[in-house]
Structure 1
Amino acid sequence: MKFSLLGKATLLVDDNPVMRKAIREMLYALDADQVSEADSGQAAIVAMTKTRFDVVLCDYNLGPGKNGQQVLEEARFRRLIDYRCVFVMISAEQSTAAVLGAMEGKPDEYLTKPFNAQQLISRLSRNFARKDFLAPVERAIDKGNLPLAIQQCDHLLAQNDKKMHLNLLKLRAELAISVGDFDKARAIYQEVLHQRELSWARIGLGVIDFQNNNIEQAIAGFRSLMAENPMLMECYDWLGKAYEALDQYGDVENVMHQALELSPQSILRQKKLAETADKNGNLETAEKAYKNVVKLGKHSVHRSSADYAGLARLYARSNAGTQALQVLEEMRKEYANQPEADLRASALEIEVFKALGNEEAADKALQRTVQLAGLLGNKAPRELQLEVVKACFQNDQHGKAEEILYDLIKYHIDDDAFLNAVRKMQSDIGLHNHSEILIQKTKQALIAANNRGVALYKQGKFKEALDLFEQAIVNLPDNKTIILNMLKIMIHDLKANDFDEEKNRRTKALFKKAKQIGVDPHKLGILQIEYAKLLHAHSERI
């Protein structure tokens, strides 16, 4: 049966009109009747906001503005394309950096110019066949229903389709990792490796070691794989995470350097290099990386005012106050009418103006910082709030500093890494152990509430336990430990007693809240599976 694009919305993105015409003719030969064109990355994004495309053929090098990788990143980030869309990256570049850059976003296909109609047909038909087969699984993943995705994946595996078997095993292992079922994932990867030596299965085993806190073993696995295949960019990212878990920031910096030598267009790796080199005191490397981040961020969905702030802070510490102010001025222009950027700039200007001996300007910056911090409140990123706390402590605004700090500790009391950042900030400004009493008091309140709730739960007093945890949430907003315990109680209650729709609605709302506040997806995944089984059993009874 001839492959056809009839009825499928297709977007062709290329800045060269001659190339667009050539590819358009190929598409017409495939019966394409809904072809849209874009001559730039931004035009492509605009087109995708208006139409849900089934196929996107996008050149990597699109001239000034967004490149193909940035188009794909933004389309996925903003959910402008879904699991059904076939995204084909096209490039005439042959260099390693260009090829790796084009592949970084993991497009469905990669085509090298020049190509012919038969090559295009082959790639498109293969991908549509794969997507059609995996649609039940991908649809469930798209909706965030991982238990259903696992169920659908197992159903497809039982059909024993030889062409799709490896794709399914890879997807099933990734789903197992997502819900914290590491034993299942390991068994799948080992089964695959017993038959064939595939890098994704070895990376998967390294990820499991990392998640199980076998960090040294994970590092050995990633390093071994990279030695055999230096082009596996995902390996560099996981190796960096593993070194970071051991606080080996020199190694993190070296790994990011190696990765960026191969694929320099990755803004997220440039950010990691900038932050790590900054932390290591390698200011020249940090400056270069921050500049790369700012440059790449001009057209990236991952752009942030924090990138400018990082560079300005670096200059401030290097006694280059004038350069710091220039960067902050540029940031304000780039992020006009954005209070978060304004707050970042004001907080940094206090330090810069003081270093330059301009006390009047420093006082004005302090007043603006306090005002903006009050307006933004908890909407400001927590690391920015911590910067404001530091500035307030250093400039005799202790009341405002304590007010913000109290909420930060209360909201993040079960995040040890952040609490350590609080401790370090205070040590850096000579306030050693300043908040330790508040931290310990808040932790004890959490532990006491948790222990009382668990005790009531074990006594079978589900309502009393839930009431207690709900009261604890008032005092400790967005606390992950309490949310997890509430979910456990709700699921047990639904299982032990008559199924109640009101309780079911509350359980769904708790799952939604848990995802919003960033509860560990592995811990959450186990509960999701248990909940899905409960819903399935209930549906069979009615």
Structure 2
Amino acid sequence: MSDYAALSVLLVDPNQSMRANLRNMLSQAGITSIDDAVSAGTAIRQINKKSYDVILCEYDLGSGAGDSGQDGQQLLEDLRHHKLIVPWTIFIMLTSEGVYSKVIGAAELTPTDYVLKPFTVDALLQRVRKAVDRREVFMRAYQMIELGNLRKAIAECVTGEEKNPRYAADFARLRAELLSQLGDLAEAERVYQLLLMTKPIAWAHLGLARCQFGQQKYVEAQSTLQELLNHNTQYMAAYDLLARTHQALGQQEAAKKILEDAVAISPNMVHRLRHLGDVAFETGDVGVAEKAFKQVVAKAKYSEFRNPEDHVRLVKTLVKKGDANQASGVIRDMERSLRASANVDACRAIASGLLQEMMGNLSGAANELTNAVNAVGASRGLSTDLKIGLVHSCLNIKLDQQASDLMLNLMNDTESGVSMDDAVQVFEKAGRHDLAEGMGEQIKHQVDELIAHAAEQRGQGDLRAAVDTLSAALRKAPGNMSLLPAAASAMLKQLDDLGWEAPLAEQCQFLLERMRRLDPDHPTLETLMAQYQHTQRKYGISVVA
């Protein structure tokens, strides 16, 4: 982009004179579309109203009105986590040399660039031009990503690598990330390995470990991450993934130790503190969990995205500790400081139910938890973990119907990720085999109805609708051996009659592989595999032996 006058810029700085200086510097490059924000909160409200090409953000937002607890790094965490900015938004941090040494050392949520104070107009504009020029090189790939055409974006990355050798590694990185999004982890892993053959790159090591983790190659991921941290002791994202790897291997204490080490190096990341609190709670280390969750609640206080679930986590920890006074105080703080909403109502009722149960008031606990179940029905965005925790709380005080209804709703929520097997396991682990059996029967009945409905749609020639129906059923029961062949058969029929679609073909192949793993002697497997290969040949798709 050669016309920098077309850029839109947001200045985030509590100092009015600094904003005026920045505005003057940018105007010398012909940039006039400039908005101001004095704090993280006002920046988020501005970004919610319009998108910006460039965000110039002061690291120290300490004097910002109303949210003095957030710095520029925490603002960037909120923007990235809540996807308020697209990956190609240019975010440049303005900071002093002393702060920069701390921030860059932790390699945490890296902005596009840093500009150290004091700086000249030429130094600032040079950084902006460099970032804009780089973005222009990647723009065709970015446009395909924005359109949702990730395959085309990957092809643009391949072309970009050939045309722009100086950005070859960056294009390869983007290509690997897109492959990972598409679920092609093996190919993404290969891209990272090829990069690492040329030189050791920290982000490539991390990407490789993520691919290994996603393929459940946990021991390999552990080894890759350990090698990365041996050479980059402050590469924080590696600590996070290493902790999750230890958890996947059942090594909770090791995961807690990794997270404690990470928090000691970089103490301000809310998501890591929350993770540490969760792991510490699971291992029974109430002291560490309490400290972590208190920090989460305190740090999130100044965020536009305060999550009432953090208060529930803290109350749950204090209840386990037996500290009714502090738990009551946290609930009062939740009522006083959070805006009224169904989410807050649900979390307040859950926390109050936990406290009432601890104090032996079971009727009061039952009333609160019943209110929580009702509020959850009207809520949006509450986590699956919170809802499953509510199921357990209901079971503890014999609210069987509420527990069953809530679990069935989770099963029918496509976003929850809760399968039939997950739902049954919750009741089995709670020692309620009777409820597990009842839940299994309800789900089986639902799946049978969906299979019958899909067969009717297929008979009427609506192949896409049949595939959609069976895909919904698969989310409820991904290992159902009546459902898997029905879904694969419907997908193959659509591919054969309506044309080859790579994403659908990949999904079908995945289902056939799942069938092979679960029942290699299934009577329809060989026929379905032969049909898949026949359809490949029909459309000229190469068949790998």
Under a length normalisation based on structure 1, what TM-score does the superposition of the two structures give?
A: 0.79
Q: Aligned residue for 1:414?
A: 419
Q: Aligned residue for 1:105?
A: 109
Residue 33 of structure 2 corresponds to residue 25 of structure 1: no
Change (3 A) 1:490 1:100: farther
How many Å apart are 1:56 and its aligned residue? 1.0
Tell me if structure 2 keeps the 8 A contact 1:101–1:266: no
Q: Aligned residue for 2:334?
A: 331
Residue 395 of structure 2 corresponds to residue 393 of structure 1: yes
How many Å apart are 1:491 and its aligned residue? 5.3
C-alpha distance in structure 1 between counterparts of 2:376 and 2:133, whole Å: 49
Q: Bigger shift: 372-381 or 135-144?
A: 372-381
Residue 187 of structure 2 corresponds to residue 187 of structure 1: no
Alignment-mate amino acid for residue 293 of structure 2 = Y
How many Å apart are 1:262 and its aligned residue? 1.4
Q: Aligned residue for 1:514?
A: none
Q: Bigger shift: 277-286 or 294-303?
A: 294-303
C-alpha distance in structure 2 between counterparts of 1:315 and 1:421, whole Å: 24
Tell me if structure 1 keeps the 8 A contact 2:209–2:221: yes
Residue 226 of structure 2 corresponds to residue 227 of structure 1: no
Residue 122 of structure 2 corresponds to residue 118 of structure 1: yes
Higher relative contact order (CA 8 A, sep 6+): 1
Change (3 A) 1:93 1:420: farther
C-alpha distance in structure 2 between counterparts of 1:231 and 1:484, whole Å: 45
Residue 295 of structure 2 corresponds to residue 292 of structure 1: yes
C-alpha distance in structure 1 between counterparts of 2:130 and 2:438, whole Å: 59
Change (3 A) 1:101 1:297: farther
Q: Bigger shift: 364-373 or 165-174?
A: 364-373
State the Cα deviation string for residues 344-402 of structure 1 (Å, max 9, x = none).
Answer: 32233234235445x4xx53453243144235338554433334433433434333333
Q: Aligned residue for 2:516?
A: none
Q: Bigger shift: 114-123 or 248-257?
A: 114-123
How many Å apart are 1:44 and its aligned residue? 1.7
Tell me if structure 2 keeps the 8 A contact 1:66–1:300: yes
State the Cα deviation string for residues 10-35 of structure 1 (Å, max 9, x = none).
Answer: 22111123332333332222222222
Alignment-mate amino acid for residue 147 of structure 1 = R
Alignment-mate amino acid for residue 373 of structure 1 = V
Residue 128 of structure 2 corresponds to residue 129 of structure 1: no
How many Å apart are 1:304 and its aligned residue? 1.4
Q: Aligned residue for 1:524?
A: none
C-alpha distance in structure 2 between counterparts of 1:474 and 1:186, whole Å: 30
Q: Aligned residue for 2:54?
A: 55
Correspondence 1:132-531 to 2 at 5 A:
132-159=136-163, 161-300=164-303, 303-356=306-359, 359=361, 363-377=363-377, 379=379, 381-408=383-410, 414=419, 420-424=425-429, 426=430, 431-438=431-438, 440-441=440-441, 492-498=492-498
How many Å apart are 1:472 and its aligned residue? 6.4
Tell me if structure 2 keeps the 8 A contact 1:349–1:365: yes
Tell me if structure 2 keeps the 8 A contact 1:89–1:102: no
Q: Bigger shift: 243-252 or 49-58?
A: 49-58
Alignment-mate amino acid for residue 55 of structure 2 = V
* Partner SS for 2:6: coil
Under a length normalisation based on structure 2, what TM-score does the superposition of the two structures give?
A: 0.79
Correspondence 1:87-102 to 2 at 5 A:
87-92=91-96, 94-95=98-99, 98-100=102-104
C-alpha distance in structure 2 between counterparts of 1:299 and 1:68, whole Å: 12
* Partner SS for 1:237: helix
* Partner SS for 1:435: helix
C-alpha distance in structure 2 between counterparts of 1:186 and 1:473, whole Å: 27
Change (3 A) 1:36 1:478: same
In structure 1, the gaps of 5 or more residues are 512-529
Alignment-mate amino acid for residue 293 of structure 1 = V
Tell me if structure 2 keeps the 8 A contact 1:462–1:489: no
How many Å apart are 1:127 and its aligned residue? 1.1
Tell me if structure 2 keeps the 8 A contact 1:453–1:469: no
* Partner SS for 2:317: helix
C-alpha distance in structure 2 between counterparts of 1:234 and 1:375, whole Å: 35
State the Cα deviation string for residues 129-173 of structure 1 (Å, max 9, x = none).
Answer: 1111111112222333212211222232343x2222111111112
How many Å apart are 1:82 and its aligned residue? 3.1
* Partner SS for 1:265: coil
Q: Aligned residue for 2:514?
A: none
Tell me if structure 1 keeps the 8 A contact 2:474–2:484: no
Alignment-mate amino acid for residue 297 of structure 1 = A
How many Å apart are 1:58 and its aligned residue? 0.3
Tell me if structure 1 keeps the 8 A contact 2:242–2:258: yes
Alignment-mate amino acid for residue 386 of structure 2 = L
How many Å apart are 1:297 and its aligned residue? 1.1
Alignment-mate amino acid for residue 148 of structure 1 = K
* Partner SS for 1:240: helix
Tell me if structure 2 keeps the 8 A contact 1:410–1:476: no
Tell me if structure 2 keeps the 8 A contact 1:5–1:33: no
Change (3 A) 1:421 1:378: farther
Tell me if structure 1 keeps the 8 A contact 2:411–2:476: no
Tell me if structure 2 keeps the 8 A contact 1:97–1:262: no
Q: Bigger shift: 472-481 or 294-303?
A: 472-481
Aligned positions, number: 496
Alignment-mate amino acid for residue 328 of structure 2 = L
Percentage of matched positions with identical amino acids: 23
Change (3 A) 1:367 1:113: same
Alignment-mate amino acid for residue 79 of structure 2 = A
How many Å apart are 1:229 and its aligned residue? 0.7
Q: Bigger shift: 479-488 or 206-215?
A: 479-488
Alignment-mate amino acid for residue 19 of structure 2 = R
C-alpha distance in structure 2 between counterparts of 1:417 and 1:46, whole Å: 39
In structure 2, the gaps of 5 or more residues are 63-67, 509-531, 541-545
Alignment-mate amino acid for residue 436 of structure 1 = A
Correspondence 1:6-21 to 2 at 5 A:
6-21=5-20
C-alpha distance in structure 2 between counterparts of 1:58 and 1:343, whole Å: 36
